[in-house]
Structure 1
């Protein structure tokens, strides 16, 4: 037999063709990712210039070119949040977190979006993960504490604010927020301590002074509350809540004319101050009880109460007062939970 070379058919995986295809594919992926990065950079530039629509277009192109590009999904989510499309922002940020679970920024921003959507449980979960990723991040802890507070988890809110203050003990706002949590927990002395710490950080805070005065009022420390409110009004004479609190303080001291003036001033500054309408009505009704022939005082009181209920329907005690006087029944004790 004549010897002949055997020629087998060409098989790609034997010849290295498969490797070539893989290399080509990888090269294509690298090219797509490089192009996606260019769009990401362009989007960041647009975002910094507050050209949000242009930034969105660039970020969308980036994730289209590279669907596994976690950073691009994250930046798309932030831009969508800025645009106000919170549902789409949450989806983009969830994708970013799924692709890169260790990305603090995407996780924190996801918590922010859930907070804005009022999905407090989801926001808390995201913030907890963010705090695990960066235990020293002050903003993540304060955001988590705020969600705990809004969700009625007061013990967790207090503990988280306290932890945040260990990171930044001179933050006036966080001390004030901690005071509000203590107040809600019916811990007046702790609340006052926190408010005082806040004022030591920044003395020019009329809202904190009003919160302090509210604690004093609940303790029936009328003179201390009065002085505190005057300090608040010295800082900001046009702060409606301070005038409203002053009206209540004066009413409790039986200074009815001055109380009415304070409530009226509060309403001049803020026509939507439901508490001021309620308090003004209480003052006028008290004056009516002292002068029953002055029917106009009673009518003025009921009208003020109606306005307060229109602004804030969730006032069962005030609603009961309106019903009592509308039916001309025996007058109830005039007091509201201020």
Structure 2
């Protein structure tokens, strides 16, 4: 327990080598402790050692089959390696099991519902992204809808539900997003994105409204979706390439742009 607490501190401070040493020693002292394997896997993932991270998280899952957190983290690693089928299986299991002690705060033995909802939102959002990248747009839209129902303070759940439906050529692609805009549920930059997707402003206007590099990269991505809808594949390819080159690699739009470019290249 002392090693785990020490490892948590090192991890929080960004001292990943020290955290790895702490968790490795905790595993050596108690190889049946699933928490030690989980935290070691999380640390190895942070360090980019995905093979060993997956092995540690798999051992944590074997020791505690009811734990969702290890499956979710392992699913994220599979996603980073484009192993989408494996990622979807892990996210599905995490959703089925629900938030656990590794992912939710508790007070007086009662799990915080707000925190549990936030975690469930992450699970559905991650699986939606995996479905989207795989081209299963109907399933992606369903998960994005669940994301929006749990917790969607910025409106990106409803935005991505619309994006997935547009990609799937659904007739109702913009209905929920238009309703959210009319109700004032989207504000500031997300509102601009929503107005672009439902055709209330042009791609040029959205790009001109961007106030920083992150918003510029998003403007390019969503402009690409609009161009695809209008069947201008050349313009769409250019917009997706700009998003790929301009978005931080952690952004949903970055990963989606790569997947959409692959789909265009395969046509």
Q: 1:112 to 1:166 in 2, by over 3 A?
A: same
Shift of the alpha carbon at 1:203? 3.4
* Structure 1 runs, 4 residues or longer, greater than 3 Å off: 205-213, 234-242, 311-317
Change (3 A) 1:196 1:232: farther
Q: 1:140 aligns with which of 123, 143, 146?
A: 123
2:26 to 55, 62, 65: 62
Match of 2:77 in 1: 113
CA distance in structure 2 between the partners assigned to 1:195 and 1:201 by the alignment = 10
Task: Give the structure 2 partner of residue 230 of structure 1.
Answer: 205
Aligned match of 2:187: 202
Question: Which protein has the larger Cα radius of gyration, Structure 1 or Structure 2?
Answer: 1
Q: Aligned pairs, how many?
A: 216
CA 1:191–1:72: 2 relative to 1, 3 Å: same
Any idea what the Cα deviations from partners look like across 1:282-326, whole Å, max 9, x if unmatched?
A: xxxxxxxxxxxxxxxxxxxxxxxxxxxxx9996589xxxxxxxxx
CA pair 71-313 structure 1, distance change in 2 beyond 3 A: closer
Point out which structure has higher relative CO (alpha carbons under 8 A, 6+ apart). Answer: 2
CA contact (8 A) 1:181 1:191 kept: no
Secondary structure, counterpart of 1:190 in structure 2: coil
* Partner residue, 2:137: 154
**Alignment correspondent of 1:219:** none
Match of 2:45 in 1: 81
Alpha-carbon shift at residue 171 of structure 1 (Å): 4.2
TM-score by length of 1: 0.55
Against the structure 1 CA distance between its residues 169 and 316, is the aligned structure 2 distance closer, same or farther, given a 3 Å change threshold?
closer
Deviation at 1:187, TM superposition (A): 2.2
Distance 1:232 1:54, change over 3 A: same
> Which residue in 1 is equivalent to 2:9?
45
Q: CA deviation at 1:57?
A: 0.7
Q: TM-score, normalised by structure 2?
A: 0.68
Segments of structure 2 that go 5 or more residues without pairing to the other structure are 100-116, 244-260
Describe the superposition over 1:15-58 as per-residue Cα deviations: whole angstroms up to 9, x where unpaired.
xxxxxxxxxxxxxxxxxxxxxx2221211111111100100011
Answer yes or no: is the 8 Å Cα contact 1:111–1:122 preserved in 2.
Answer: yes
CA separation of 1:237/1:96 partners in 2, compared to 1, >3 Å: closer, same or farther? closer
Distance 1:316 1:124, change over 3 A: closer
Give the Cα–Cα distance (whole angstroms) in 2 for the partners of residues 312 and 132 of structure 1. Answer: 31
Q: 1:189 to 1:236 in 2, by over 3 A?
A: farther
CA RMSD in angstroms, aligned pairs only: 3.7
